[in-house]
Structure 1
Amino acid sequence: MTTRAMPGIDRRTLMKLTAGSAVAALIPAGARAAAGIEATGLHGLSVFGDLSYPPDFTHFAYVRPDAPKGGRMSFRPPDWAYNQNPQTFNTLHSFVLKGDAPPRMEMTFTRLMTRAWDEPDAVYGELAEIVDILEDGNLYRFHLRPTAVHHDGTPITAEDVAFSLTILKEKGHPLVSQTIEEMAGVEAEDERTALVRFSGKQTRKLPLIVADLPIFSKAWWDGRDFSASTLEVPLGCGPYKVGNFQAGRYIEYERVRDWWGNEVPSAVGRNNFDRIRVDFYRDRTVAFEAFKKGNTRIFETFVAKTWATGFDFPAFHEKKVVKKEFPDFRPAGAQGWFFNTRRAKFADPRTREAIGLAFDFEWTNTNLFYGSYVRTESFFENSPMKAEGAPSADELGLLEPFRDSLPEEVFGEPWTPPVSDGSGRDRSQLRRAVQLLTEAGWTRRDGALVDKGGNALTIEFMTNAPTFERVLQPYLDNLRLIGVPASIRLVDAAQYQARLDGFDFDAVGRRFALDATPGEGIRQLWSSRSAGIDGSNNLAGIREPAIDALVEKLIHAKNREAMTVVGRALDRVLRAGRYWVPNWYKPVHTIALWDEYGWPETKPRYEFPVETTWWYDEEKAARLDSQ
């Protein structure tokens, strides 16, 4: 279960600097702003000023710079963003709320700067050759590469940049528009120079987020409705363009062989496949069958049973298909079944905790997952921001102003889901669940649990994946034992997304994987304001002043150490809210593939960019075909 990511970052490039500007680049952005330094000619940006690559770098360390170009790959994307849907699509416009778009449409556009995935948050120029930071960090001047063109050969201009960033703020998907609110305006200083102005209230990360947004053709969009869905192929300017597609079935992205950015250092060794195909399946079992037949060539599985028992087929025994595990060092984030607290029946955290106690992870992990998972405990799982033990003095200093409004447990050991006896029906946990329901005011009437108004307590888990039924069913049986009728609602992909966007569910499973340096996007997860914005990621409907305040402190932290302290304090408050039933994670990528691909020796710490860093190996493919 992965999620629509917040405006993140991922693309390609670099630039040349003077010795003076190179020194300025190593000064933290916050220090530059505080001292009023005008830093010019910067080849990269990071939140706290630390850059691993010098101005004259030639390629990222996690790519093979001479990787062969050619061949094809087909896969089922493990993650997606904005209005993208991994099960179907009915629009090619990927950056608005309306419609369901195919994952990876972002590859058809360029960005001002691109993410280095072996650093926590650094970006390096792509469309922008260099960037200047002016006016105490409130004005960024991006100098565009003169060779950059759209796919029709027309130049990419500063007017295109101004149009793109402005229209995304005005009409873009809420995950974009709400995130970049403190971008005050964008203008073209001249054809090759774009000025991006901020309000003065922005976080250190916002300029990096803005620099990673897609750039469109202003001329192409003239006369078209940016907020509408469309199957007309938008004019792009990235390393790939849309090729053949059939709405809801498949889409192919074709490499632009003469792409203007091929020689940009941050693009060297990347974008190696001539054709990348995404096929759409509404059922993971069907998708795996397609892989077994060779219709899909790379398959990352998130189903433990498939990984443990699903490889009894000829191609695997003949070693045409191989299994690989790659370490995953990224923050695991929060995966779980999120309660919709907008609904009165889930307003009391005791009710939510009781429902969570009926889930026996230990039994599930042993009997359904083959022991392959670890229980998720934190909203910052697998991250230094995960709260553990008693709060430090610094954490207490952040929490004390809210003591009167927070549960006492926030000031002690963080809440952690209890470990069951593994029987599948831990009587002590079920008794505790019944006790909590009674304390929350639920009473039995005519065999049902009802509140003071006579409304029955029921819960429906919404899903779009049939594979989760085997996990949910034993959980539902336990819920019925404590008097809570529970059901599974399997909905089609389009309806699922529409109901998510409109918060039309009781509980839903989701994973939110956070960046190593969280930015404005986490407001969309937990802030009170986002709880009322359709399409936001605040699925639980969290409205808590202490969380609002800590979110702001986190994204405005002056250094990584301060950010970590705030993150731990925030984690304590979130966990105390019982907004979810925590699920599970594993620190590896489990990949099956037809043995015709190569990949770099070094995997970047903060991403697993298969489609942009792997390549088609003709020698392997020839051996495969000869078998």
Structure 2
Amino acid sequence: MTRKSTTPTQARMNRRTALQLLGGTAVAATAPGLGGALAAGADAETIIRAHGYSFFGDLKYPPDFKHFDYVNPDAPVGGHISVSTRGTFDGMNRFNWQGKAGLYSGLIAESMFGESPFGSATPADSITEAYGLLAEAVEYPDTKEWCIFYMRPEARFADGTPLTAHDAAFTHDLFLEQGIRSYARAVKQRIEGYEIIDDHTIKYNFVDGISRRSLISQVGGTPVFSKAWYEKTGERLDKQSLQTPMGSGPYVVDDFELNRYIVYRRNPDYWGWDLPINVGRHNFETVRVEYFADDAAEFEAFKAGVYTFRAEGSTKKWATGYDFPAVQNGYVKREEIPVMSPPSPSGFIFNMTRAPFDDIKVREALGLAFNFEWTSESLQYGLTEQRHSFAENSEVAAEGVPTGLEKTFLESLGDLVPAEVLTQEAVRAHSSSPARTVDRRNKRTALKLLSEAGWTVNGAGKLQDADGNPMSIQIMLNASSSDTAEAIVTTYASSLESFGVSVTVEKIDSAQWIQRYYDKDFDMIFFRNQPFLEAGTGLKQAYGSETAVVSSYNPQSLQSPLVDAIIDAALDTKSREEEIASLKALDRVLRYLRIQVPSGYVADTWVAYYDMYEHPEVLPPLAVGQFDFWWFNDEKYQKLKTAGAVR
């Protein structure tokens, strides 16, 4: 790891000789770049300096933008919002990988580029753009071999101490030494090192011979913690703790009780309130998270006004549950909000490191036991739609037979691509009769596939391999799952049993579920993969072989040379059109490999809330933004309080 510090005098000299570039406008640099980026006598190089970053160089918002288009710059500040979650938590260190941290406990930290403390897209009207937060500017050559962040001198941690390049460098090393294993491995292979140019300027150098895609976004999105705080407390990033790492964000941890609640409070001394990126945002004085042991208790608490905002994930409740007095009296509002980002690719996920899930025919056959049509009508009130793609309803979802740029892209990968991928239509989820849980036509197809894979049905009606070993599967279920999710799992297990598979559903508490998930200690789970709309190195963690066994983002432990080749080639695309073609190819191949059994999805986001919150009339396409850019109406709250609707 290169760790080079430049003296302040050198830094000032470098700044004088650097080209002054505004708004992402690029010019050719014929003198050494900032921080010695270009050696004397080097060929001319294009250096870009901007207030934000997009890989293809296009930024919607100019350097002097006042606020994001979708926010209300005059939104009132104050009030409270409370939400719920199920399960438990054993600490407040979001960044460890051994325990279960409190919900949203990572919000205390900020990065060079702005993000929402609560995880929604920022900005929420662009897929590919990021804007400076801790950094007022970023500089990089068109080759993207390195980048320099010019940090805001006014940035402060929550304890009032300055946030500097030394803290950024410390945090970078901290993630490498104590962070999640797959992340640390990926970073070490892509980032050569850093140079501290002065107290507020840091340069990151990237490894030669690799794709530059997402490297600037990666270092720009890394949270920055206080070096002095870690040295004083002796805390570790990889250990769960009741202390929250010292960050610089607009919210701080105000109070919590393990497994009961967490309160986050708006920091009145937050350093960045006046930045354009923050105008109209972070409006609530407090955000409270209430914990519940089960789904029933959680919903009853909402009906009683114990918490006041609910993102509804249960089709049963949305269809039948909202007939309680607070709704009838108009105290609770319901909205169905369109969001343009792809639905979460959820479904039944195979652990592909274990037999028989390493056989594509077995995976296809087991998938045929899931009856979406019956599930949707009988368990989800017909409110869900069938999902076919890992990027459903987007421009990167594969359709039909490959054509145009996608076909050219796949052909460039040579013999890695099976002939049927090039000649057959993209795999779509099978259809089933809604009349009964088991579709007989699909069962016949499945048993034929299993026979081809070496599995036969014995005299007892059970599947066995050539050595007489039975096919036995355990589906791991999180005890905090909703009643509907549990019903979907048990129904699917019953259908598999009718195929001759011995199935057990193991329901375990959320802490144990998380640990076994991290350890990949399961046969199957009802979970999700990562959707995608752009190419980035995160695809390697989500679908690549390199960190498959240790990556928490690759639940299947998928290891496919073809998928690896697609990701590598996608990272080298030179235009958005080429990028879209490569992602269509990725979607097509993931579906061809049957890495999961897709379940249905709800097209809109369902929310219910006590009528004291307001939001912009036109919401952005990529986020509901209830914590980000909604606000509190105190007059409405007082009426609800007088009526006894809220506590």
Aligned to 2:365: 354
Aligned to 2:58: 50
Indicate if the aligned counterparts of 1:120 and 1:515 stay in contact, CA closer than 8 A: no
- 1:127 and 2:134 correspond: yes
Aligned to 1:90: 90
Q: Deviations over 1:162-185 (max 9, x none)?
A: 111222133212454244331222
Aligned to 1:575: 591
Q: What is the one-letter code of the residue matched to 1:121?
A: T
CA deviation after TM superposition for structure 1 residue 481, in Å: 1.6
Aligned to 1:624: 640
Task: Measure, in 2, the Cα distance between the counterparts of 1:565 and 1:333.
Answer: 21
Deviates more, 1:42-51 or 1:205-214: 205-214
- 1:217 and 2:218 correspond: no
Q: What is the one-letter code of the residue matched to 1:252?
A: V
Q: What is the one-letter code of the residue matched to 1:24?
A: T
TM-score normalised according to structure 2 size: 0.88
Task: Measure, in 1, the Cα distance between the counterparts of 2:379 and 2:87.
Answer: 24
Aligned to 2:282: 271
Aligned to 1:112: 112
Indicate if the aligned counterparts of 2:473 and 2:504 stay in contact, CA closer than 8 A: yes
CA deviation after TM superposition for structure 1 residue 232, in Å: 1.9
Which runs of 5 or more structure 1 residues have no equivalent in the other structure? 1-16, 28-32, 78-85
Task: Measure, in 1, the Cα distance between the counterparts of 2:264 and 2:371.
Answer: 43
Task: Measure, in 2, the Cα distance between the counterparts of 1:501 and 1:177.
Answer: 15
Instruction: Give the one of 254, 258, 276 matched to 1:247.
Output: 258
Q: What is the one-letter code of the residue matched to 2:453?
A: A
CA deviation after TM superposition for structure 1 residue 512, in Å: 3.1
Indicate if the aligned counterparts of 2:384 and 2:602 stay in contact, CA closer than 8 A: yes
Task: Measure, in 2, the Cα distance between the counterparts of 1:333 and 1:172.
Answer: 25
Deviates more, 1:395-404 or 1:183-192: 395-404
Task: Measure, in 2, the Cα distance between the counterparts of 1:512 and 1:418.
Answer: 19
Indicate if the aligned counterparts of 2:213 and 2:537 stay in contact, CA closer than 8 A: no
CA deviation after TM superposition for structure 1 residue 122, in Å: 0.8
Instruction: Give the one of 554, 575, 587 matched to 2:603.
Output: 587
Q: Deviations over 1:351-401 (max 9, x none)?
A: 111111111101111121111111111122122111111111433333346
- 1:99 and 2:99 correspond: yes
Q: What is the one-letter code of the residue matched to 1:99?
A: G
Instruction: Give the one of 363, 382, 399 matched to 1:388.
Output: 399
Give the count of matched residue pairs: 596
Task: Measure, in 1, the Cα distance between the counterparts of 2:92 and 2:150.
Answer: 29
Instruction: After TM superposition, list the pairs within 5 Å mapping 1:444-463 onto structure 2.
Output: 444-445=457-458, 447=460, 448-463=462-477
- 1:60 and 2:72 correspond: no
Q: What is the one-letter code of the residue matched to 1:436?
A: L
Deviates more, 1:173-182 or 1:199-208: 173-182
Which runs of 5 or more structure 2 residues have no equivalent in the other structure? 1-17, 29-37, 115-121
Task: Measure, in 2, the Cα distance between the counterparts of 1:301 and 1:556.
Answer: 39
Indicate if the aligned counterparts of 2:24 and 2:51 stay in contact, CA closer than 8 A: no
Deviates more, 1:46-55 or 1:477-486: 477-486
Indicate if the aligned counterparts of 1:61 and 1:602 stay in contact, CA closer than 8 A: no
Q: How many percent identity over aligned positions?
A: 36
Change (3 A) 1:120 1:35: farther
Aligned to 1:149: 156
The Cα RMSD (Å) is 2.2
Indicate if the aligned counterparts of 2:475 and 2:505 stay in contact, CA closer than 8 A: yes
Aligned to 1:260: 271
Q: Deviations over 1:307-355 (max 9, x none)?
A: 0001121111111111111101102242211111111121211111111
SS at match of 1:37: strand
Q: Deviations over 1:117-164 (max 9, x none)?
A: 211121111111112214842222211112111111111111011111
- 1:432 and 2:441 correspond: no
Indicate if the aligned counterparts of 2:21 and 2:48 stay in contact, CA closer than 8 A: no
Task: Measure, in 2, the Cα distance between the counterparts of 1:343 and 1:624.
Answer: 55
Q: Deviations over 1:458-482 (max 9, x none)?
A: 2222121152221223322221221
CA deviation after TM superposition for structure 1 residue 405, in Å: 5.2
Indicate if the aligned counterparts of 1:458 and 1:485 stay in contact, CA closer than 8 A: yes
TM-score normalised according to structure 1 size: 0.91
Task: Measure, in 2, the Cα distance between the counterparts of 1:495 and 1:525.
Answer: 22
Aligned to 1:9: none
SS at match of 1:330: coil
Task: Measure, in 2, the Cα distance between the counterparts of 1:194 and 1:416.
Answer: 47
Task: Measure, in 1, the Cα distance between the counterparts of 2:318 and 2:185.
Answer: 39
Task: Measure, in 2, the Cα distance between the counterparts of 1:487 and 1:469.
Answer: 13
Indicate if the aligned counterparts of 2:22 and 2:63 stay in contact, CA closer than 8 A: no
Indicate if the aligned counterparts of 2:406 and 2:581 stay in contact, CA closer than 8 A: yes
Task: Measure, in 1, the Cα distance between the counterparts of 2:636 and 2:19.
Answer: 45
Task: Measure, in 2, the Cα distance between the counterparts of 1:295 and 1:87.
Answer: 17
Change (3 A) 1:18 1:401: closer
Deviates more, 1:52-61 or 1:410-419: 410-419
Change (3 A) 1:205 1:406: closer
Task: Measure, in 1, the Cα distance between the counterparts of 2:627 and 2:167.
Answer: 27
Aligned to 1:24: 25
Task: Measure, in 1, the Cα distance between the counterparts of 2:286 and 2:62.
Answer: 32
Change (3 A) 1:241 1:172: same
Instruction: Give the one of 433, 456, 473 matched to 1:421.
Output: 433
Change (3 A) 1:407 1:281: farther
